[in-house]
Amino acid sequence: MSKQQNAIGTTNFNFPNQEKVYNGKVRDVYFVGDKLVMVATDRISAFDHILPRPIPYKGQVLNQVAHHFLQATRDIVPNWLEATPDPNVAVGKKCEPIMLEMVVRGYMAGHAWREYKAGKRELCGEIMLDGLRQNDRFPRPLITPATKAEEGHDEDISKAEILAQGIVSPAQWEQLEDYTLQLFWRGTEMAAERGLILVDTKYEFGLIDGEIILMDEIHTPDSSRYFYADGYEERQEKGEPQKQLSKEFVREWLMDHGFQGKEGQKMPEMPDDFVDLVSQRYIELYETITGKSFDRAGNENPLERIEKNVTDYLKVH
């Protein structure tokens, strides 16, 4: 079997005391008592669609990058993570999710740039000044939340709309805003130490007994965009594209092949060499952002490995 055939596309575990399963775009979440067992598959999504082919080692990269940053930010905000019993698995506390993605943007890139280029000067109630170029730094980070859709597209939403709809209380919003900016500054500092610029990212939060808890993943290539700091200014002055480590190059490949997730568009099939390139990019990001060597987990029988490691962990916890 090739490594591509052994990439984890779907899971169907039955762990002890398992109650239900939620299949996200990338993660399969197993509810076991008061715990969540979150399995990071190798699925990849773009434009709110899951692509047909999984990417080898992608799930391991996401899980281990998230672990790295969750451990490094516990002094800012409590988080859900308790253990990582397998390279692809995180186990932690079950939270009541707050149905918002707290998106924070330090630079004019991605969705913000697409909106700006289309003539918009306001995003989620935040004003974007005239005269900005793609990838310019904002004078201050902008928080541009999105509703967390169960299915389909997440929608931009402003602070005023969030409070009017009662998604969170004013006090909770203030806490979310504060946590989001503190996490973004910490991520920015940690990226700078590794020669990277944290361009934009998103955070998800939940509640346990009324306390706000950081959930899910943070500062991973699926939830964040990174530029290389070296040469950033020169590239901006020349109007050249920035060298980046993120999933944006996958979106660009899809757009080049006529797909942006719109109705009637056909999803292109990724060839083997592009799948391998995406895998290499994810591993490169892991090593660059953490400063650690990536230790590829055995993927002869990844599902058997995961089932054994999680079951063994649950027996004693």
Backbone angles phi, psi at 84, to 5 degrees: -125, 85
Q: Which CATH number fits domain 97-245: 3.40.30.10, 2.40.70.10, 3.30.470.20, 3.40.50.1820?
A: 3.30.470.20
- CATH homologous superfamily, domain 18-95+271-316: Phosphorylase Kinase; domain 1 (3.30.200.20)
Tokens of 48: 């709110």
Q: What is the DSSP letter of 167?
A: S
N- to C-terminal Cα separation, the chain: 35
Of 121-135, 166-180, 243-257, the poorest mean pLDDT is in: 243-257
Per CATH, 18-95+271-316 and 97-245 having the same topology is answered no
Query: Which pLDDT score, from 0 to 100, does residue 150 have?
Result: 63
Please state the rounded mean pLDDT for residues 148-154: 68
Name the pTM for this structure.
0.89
Calculate the alpha carbon distances from 78 to 72, 140, 203 in Å.
Answer: 11, 25, 13
Domain assignments of the chain as residue spans, ordered by start: 18-95+271-316, 97-245
Q: pLDDT-based confidence at 311, cuts 50/70/90?
A: very high
Query: Which pLDDT score, from 0 to 100, does residue 221 have?
Result: 81
